[in-house]
Chain A
Amino acid sequence: MTLHDHLPALAVVVPLMAAPVIVALRRPTAAWAVAVAVSWACLAISGQLLQSVLANGPFSYLLGGWAAPWGIEYRVDPVDAFVLVIVSAIAAVVSLYAKTSVAKEIDPDRQYLFYAMYVLCLCGLLGMAITGDAFNVFVFLEISSLSTYVLVALGRDRRALTAAFRYLVLGTVGATFYVIGIGLAYMMTGTLNMADMAERLPAVAHTSTVRAALAFLVVGIGLKMAAFPLHLWLPNAYAHAPSVATAFLAGTATKVSVYVLLRIVLGVFGGTGLLTALPLMELLMAMALAGMFVGSAVAIWQPDLKRALAYSSVAQIGYILLGIAFLSETGLAAAIVHLFNHAIMKTALFLALGAIVFRLGSARIEDIAGIGRRMPLTMAAVLVAGLSLIGVPLTVGFVSKWYLVEAAIGAGLWPVAVAILLSSLLAVAYVWRIVEAAWFAKPSDKALAATEAPTALIVPTWAMAGAAVWFGVDATGTMGVARAAAAALLKGVAP
Chain B
Amino acid sequence: MEVPGLFNYWMAVVLMMAGLYAVIARGNLVKKIVGLGVFQISVFVLYITMGKVKGGTAPILGDGITVYSNPLPHVLILTAIVVGVATTALGLALVVRIRESFGTIEEDELQAIEEGEA
Contacts and interface: CB of A to CB of B under 8 A. Distances in A.
Interface residues of A, number: 25
Contacts of A173: 20, 23, 36, 39
A65 to B, nearest CB: 17
B2 interface: no
Contacts of A186: 50, 73
A353 B79 CA distance: 39
Contact of B94 (A149, A172, A176): A149
B99 to A, nearest CB: 10
Contact of B76 (A135, A162, A172, A176): A135
Given A162-B98, A179-B80, A168 B91 contact: yes
A183 B50 contact: yes
A172 B40 CA distance: 9
A159, A161, A186: residue with the most chain B Cβ atoms closer than 10 Å: A161
B102 interface: yes
A238 to B, nearest CB: 15
A138 B16 CA distance: 18
B102 A165 contact: no
Interface in B74-118: 76, 79-80, 83, 86-87, 90-91, 94-95, 97-98, 101-102, 110, 114, 117
Contact of A158 (B29, B76, B102): B102
Interface bin, chain B = 20 to 34
B97 A176 contact: no
Contacts of A135: 76, 79
A491 to B, nearest CB: 29
Contact of B36 (A138, A153, A172, A192): A172
Contact of A161 (B73, B80, B101, B117): B101
B18 interface: no
A78 B86 CA distance: 34
Nearest to A190: B70
A183 B47 CA distance: 6
A324 B117 CA distance: 39
Interface string B27-65: 001001000100110010011001000000000000000
Contacts of A281: none
A169 to B, nearest CB: 6
A158 B104 CA distance: 13
Contact of A165 (B47, B73, B98): B98
Contact of A146 (B20, B36, B87, B110): B87
Contacts of B114: 159, 162
A153 B101 CA distance: 12
Given A139-B79, A183-B46, A183-B50, A168 B90 contact: yes
Interface in A150-170: 150, 153, 158-159, 161-162, 164-165, 168-169
Contacts of B40: 172, 176
The SS class assigned to the A binding surface is: helix
Contacts of A158: 101-102
A139 B84 CA distance: 11
Interface string A362-382: 000000000000000000000
A363 to B, nearest CB: 14
Given A159-B114, A162-B98, A149 B90 contact: yes
Interface in A405-455: none
A142 B43 contact: no
A158 B16 CA distance: 32
Contacts of A161: 94, 97-98, 101-102
A63 interface: no
Contact of A153 (B32, B39, B97, B110): B97
A187 interface: yes
Contacts of A187: 50
Contacts of B101: 158, 161
A481 interface: no
Nearest to B86: A146
A149 B83 CA distance: 14
A23 interface: no
A110 B76 CA distance: 33
Given A161-B97, A162-B110, A169 B90 contact: no
B23 A153 contact: no
A180 interface: yes
Contacts of B110: 162
B94 A153 contact: yes
Given A168-B94, A183-B46, A187-B50, A176 B39 contact: yes
A142 B46 contact: no
Contacts of A150: 90
Given A139-B83, A150-B90, A183-B50, A169 B98 contact: no
- Nearest first, the 7 closest Cβ-Cβ pairs linking A and B are A158-B101, A142-B83, A165-B94, A161-B98, A187-B50, A161-B97, A172-B87
8 contacts: A138-B80, A150-B90, A161-B98, A162-B110, A176-B39, A180-B43, A180-B46, A183-B43
Given A169-B36, A173-B23, 13 more contacts: A138-B80, A138-B83, A149-B94, A161-B94, A161-B101, A165-B98, A168-B94, A172-B40, A172-B87, A173-B39, A176-B43, A179-B80, A183-B50
